[in-house]
Structure 1
Amino acid sequence: MEQSVGSLQEQALKRKERLKALREKQLHVSFFYGVGGMLQSVAQATETPELKLRNYAPEDEELKERQVPKAKPASVEDKVKDQLEAANPEPIIEEVDLANLAPRKPDWDLKRDVAKKLEKLERRTQRAIAELIRDRLRGHEEELAGAVGAVGAEAGDSD
């Protein structure tokens, strides 16, 4: 599909006309819209911005009216006091349960699960200790009885 030189020139001219129309349209829109993008009237678009003098002390009376009054610095002490008061809210809860606030140890659930088994073992251990004590006492009674019998036998021989 070859295009002739004449048709390419015609397309280029049409493209130039479209671009020119777009530029004119943008200029027209930017004239009615301000820097912020809000629609302004033609009179406002051509007006110069109002002069505000912040750091310059003019001698002319007309310019003195446009001078902005000097800002007074706020008291730092007042700001600090306000911030400190805002940072210290009144406590809502008067009593605090320390058990709920303290973090639990990582093995608390293991201890909870093993507690029942430990109770059974504790009872069995106490029984075993009691039984051992009884056995020792029985052994001591036999030794004591033997010792008493031996002392009685010796006493009987000396009569």
Structure 2
Amino acid sequence: MDDESKKRKERLEQLKKRKLESTSNGNKDVSLSFRNYTPLNGELKADDSNITTTADIGDTVEKKMEGVVERVIQEEEEKRAKDVDIFTLAPKKPNWDLKRDVEPKLLKLEKKTRAAIIELIRRERPHDLSMA
């Protein structure tokens, strides 16, 4: 642990030295860029400043989106014209949903019916079933 803490202290000291050196030498090399406004101070103004104006801006979002609404409306009208006939979408048998809902109940009922028929047959012919 002691070795790690010593190494860390050394690194922190080196960082402090770098910061001090950069602040003393770095103030002369700093360049400001004014993108959003023109400075009022004459010293900060530069003749070669590249400040963009509305004339410099090419296509805006409004210009790009100008004809989109009309195109979307036209595409929707074309889709409606090609719309599928309602009769082709309808099921062939109008009671398909009823059959789907009733089918599990009918299976249970069919099992019970078979069991009842077998029971009736056993009651009528007990001697035929016992021989088999």
TM-score (norm 1): 0.28
TM-score (norm 2): 0.31
Greater RCO between the two (CA within 8 Å, min separation 6)? Answer: 2
